[in-house]
Chains A and B, each alone.
Chain A
Amino acid sequence: MDFGRPQQGERVRLRMRNLYILPTRFGWLWLAGTVLLQVVGVQMQSNGTLLLSFLMLSLFLLTLHLTHFNLQGVELACGAPAPGFAGEPVPYPVRLRCPGRSEGVRLRLGGEPPGPALSLAAGEHELAVSWTPPGRGWQRPGLLRIQTTAPLGLFCCWSRWHPQTAQLIYPARRAGPVRLLPAGSAPVVGEPALASHQDGSDDWRDLAPHRPQDSPSRLAWKLLAQGRGEYAKRFLDRPEAAPLLAPEPGVPLETALEHLSERIWSWHGRGLSYGLELNGQSVAPGRGVLHRDQCLTALACCR
């Protein structure tokens, strides 16, 4: 069941005017079963069958109200959504305030499959509803559908709402080429050590026993010739200034942004320092979660 006028506004309170309820297919089937039992009961003059048929009918009447009561008076509001990446499921927080017990509540955003049925006690609940944002920037998650078929699945009661709070969505992460600009400044003061401990190819540092996967060019031929065994040379990168990341020229902007997004994410994961240069806007090199989020926000809001 999915029709009806969607509600607008920061908060919405579900009531008679904005809740819809109809029998499900199973509900119609249930009525058919009731009629069948009624016919059998009349034909066989059997009190038990007649009573069961009436009982099924009264359950039908009763669950009409019980299903409606599950959502009646429930207040919906948005939580503060955390940023997420485009193209993958992102949790969107929805606050529910239930006046009584609400059973079998399912929430669904956009075209996503409905979530699991939840039994909510009276009080405030914050639920994360998953949705997949199509693009970057400040995005609204689209239509939120709240529905329940509890307790017997005979009726479906639902409502629709457009949550107003937008969620910041970073560009999707896609591996690809990124332009590295030399930074104007030296590495971040006080933290050069971590970046300098990378294996590289600039300075000879050490010898280590040769492993089959080592390149033959690294083999210490002189030592081998002296008959002292196979050794590989180890080199070290010179400590370098943290680069500024910039969109690769010749790649469409959106794709370039996705590449940058992936690069920032992976460099953050490896603990590297980086800066960002984007459309004249620049973020000084740095590290850490706040820095990463600052860069990703710049990507998300880039015009």
Chain B
Amino acid sequence: MSRAAAPLQWLTMGLLALGLLGLSPALSLSLLAFGLAVLTALKLREARSLEERRVVALLQLVCAGLLAALRPELAPSLLQGLAILMALAGLLALELGAGPDWKALLRRSLQVLLAALPIALVLFLLLPRLMPFTNFGAGQGMGAMTGLSDSMEPGSIARLAVSRQAAARVAFPLGGEPPPLEQRYWRVLVHERFDGRSWRSAAPTFARPAVGQATPPPPPPAAPGEGIQLWLIEPSGLAAVPWSGSGRPLSADLNLQRSGELLNRAPGSQRRVYALTRTADQPGWRTAPPGPVDLLLPLGENPRLEALAAGWRRLGSDRERLDAASGWFRSQPFRYTLEPGALPRQAPLDHFLFESRLGFCGHYASAFTTLMRAAGVPARVVSGYRGGQWVQPVGGTGYVDLRQADAHAWSEVWLAGEGWRRVDPTAWAAGDPLARPGASGAGIRAGGGPLDWIQQQWWGLDIAWARWWLGYDGEQQQALVARLLGEQRHLLGVVVLLAVAVSLAAGLGGLGWLGRRHRGDPLRLELERTLRAFARQGMAPAAGETLGGFARRLSQRWPSLADPLEAFVANYQQQRFAAAPSRAGRRTAHRLGRVLRRSLRTGNRPAEAVQRDHP
């Protein structure tokens, strides 16, 4: 057992503990991981024999595996990878004698890891994926709540905190630009139910698939021309996920609701990555006709509002009513603010529309939607994100960066013949941050400084990680197999076996090569290489001949080689008998040997040519 074993195992424990820090205690699996880590630490404390220490290393690996399931993001994954490497090094240290030092141990474990990695990758990439066995754990976790919630009640919020926390990122991996800033509305929730104060969403918080419900077949992959938008969302606690409102989900886990909400029904809502196509066709939800719920309004709550809307009811078409409302909003001195103060419990919307005229997106969307309903136009509130900064990381895919502060609410009204039309009443108010002149996407956060820049680059990496690593699922795996094998899918088993055998042989060969490479005295190796070069010319040292004597014999045959020979021999002997052979001396020997061999080659060619010419 090497002395390095115990410190390495404790170091691994430290790394695992670091990885445990960010876990949400709500998920049963994270409790399991936590318990396992504690048990492993106790076992390590008590372990005396080799067998026990080995079991500790195995427990550490299992712990790292559980952590990998809980924290698949880039930074925790790097930490887990390091912990795995250290656990393996600890295990290696247990088997080796007390000899090897830390550096040799780490190098050896890296070698073993690298040799094993190709086999693991072959299995990982090619073996068909299994679906989850049960829906155990569905809907758990995600303690963090975002700026979005399924209930919107702007009147009770006196002051809206602006959070710079990351909400989501959307990348366009196949190239292409994001929509222009004024078109960037990323819808998440549709609030149809209004009780006079708050707007509620009809969708469940978590999409729970019914027991026994068959898994829908995976949708066909994106056609070449369609383009892809790749989403990476932070935990939100909502089943609904943001999307642009157009395009087709590329995963069977995503379910498009009739209202235009995109629900994620993956168990545990662990998946933070999904892809959609990027088509511009009219999606179905836009033309889905409204229901009675879209006109529901508690009458008598806001009398002045209802009186104003009653005037518009007399107008002929919904379109005219919408124009009237828009004109009225523009004519009033509405101002956008994040600190509007709380609205009274009595007739809150009347107070907002006719007295304070101060509010943020929630106020405008809420009041406008109520007005439209009172005027007889089906309308609903939609919440999601607006805008977002376009970031182009160095050497990566560009992405739109959405923060919690980008959370927004707007309205949708039903217009006969057109379908649901997005109306953003906030844009009519003075001081709307997005409508401010010069507030282009890049301009808003230009003053971030180097830390922001580093964070943006890191998120660019995170996007790439999410795209290539987290996004590799059963469908991707099948697509890869289809690309590799085409029609010959039945050969997959043979191909996997062959690939494993080849990678195993390559790994073993590589390890053997690495082991051999450092064998022997470099000075001696250099001398032997040089002697071989002379042996090819028919000159070999005689039995008992000294190196100096042989060199003299050589310089008699090739007088032009006398100088490099002398330098080489002198350096060899000096290094050979030096008290402490130095690295510089070895390098000199290498250089002199190369010079000598080159002079031998170039010096010989003319001579041979002469011999050939005059036999």
Listed in ascending order, the chain A residues whose CB lies under 8 Å from chain B are 25-26, 29-30, 33, 36-37, 39-59, 61-63, 65-66, 69, 100-101, 103-104, 116-119, 122, 149-153
Contacts and interface: CB of A to CB of B under 8 A. Distances in A.
B14 interface: no
Interface stretch (B192-200, B223-231, B263-271): B263-271
Contacts of B131: 42
B92 A152 contact: yes
9 contacts: A37-B65, A41-B65, A44-B132, A44-B137, A46-B69, A49-B66, A53-B65, A101-B515, A118-B97
A208 B530 CA distance: 80
Contacts of B515: 100-101
B107 to A, nearest CB: 13
B552 interface: no
Contact of B68 (A36, A49, A56, A118): A49
Nearest to A117: B97
B133 A66 contact: no
Contacts of A116: 97
B473 to A, nearest CB: 7
A65 B508 contact: yes
B77 A48 contact: yes
A56 B123 CA distance: 11
A43 B62 contact: no
Given A55-B117, A153-B50, 18 more contacts: A26-B54, A26-B58, A33-B61, A37-B61, A40-B69, A42-B131, A43-B133, A45-B267, A45-B271, A47-B72, A49-B66, A54-B120, A58-B503, A59-B88, A61-B500, A100-B512, A117-B1, A151-B96
B507 interface: yes
Contacts of B271: 45
Contact of B134 (A43, A53, A56, A65): A43
Contacts of A26: 51, 54-55, 58
Interface of B: 1, 29, 50-51, 54-55, 58, 61-62, 64-66, 68-70, 72, 77, 80, 84, 88, 91-92, 94-97, 99-100, 108, 112-113, 115-121, 123-124, 127, 129-134, 136-137, 266-268, 270-271, 469-470, 472-473, 500, 503-504, 507-508, 511-512, 515-516, 519
Given A51-B124, A57-B123, A119 B100 contact: yes
Contacts of A151: 92, 95-96, 108, 112
B99 A119 contact: yes
Among A33, A52, A104, A153, max chain B CB count under 10 A is at A52
A26 to B, nearest CB: 5
A49 B69 contact: yes
Contacts of B92: 151-152
Given A62-B115, A151-B92, A104 B68 contact: no
A233 to B, nearest CB: 60
A177 B118 CA distance: 73
A49 B212 CA distance: 27
Contacts of B516: 100
Contacts of B112: 59, 62-63, 66, 151-152
Nearest to A58: B119
A30 B58 CA distance: 7
B271 to A, nearest CB: 7
Among B116, B266, B504, max chain A CB count under 10 A is at B116
A185 B141 CA distance: 101
A146 B433 CA distance: 78
A101 to B, nearest CB: 6
Contact of A49 (B65, B115, B132): B65
A69 to B, nearest CB: 8
Nearest to B268: A44
A159 B439 CA distance: 78
A32 to B, nearest CB: 9
B27 to A, nearest CB: 10
Nearest to B501: A61
Given A42-B133, A44-B270, A66-B508, A149 B95 contact: yes
Given A45-B473, A55-B117, A61 B97 contact: no
A40 B65 contact: yes
B58 A46 contact: no
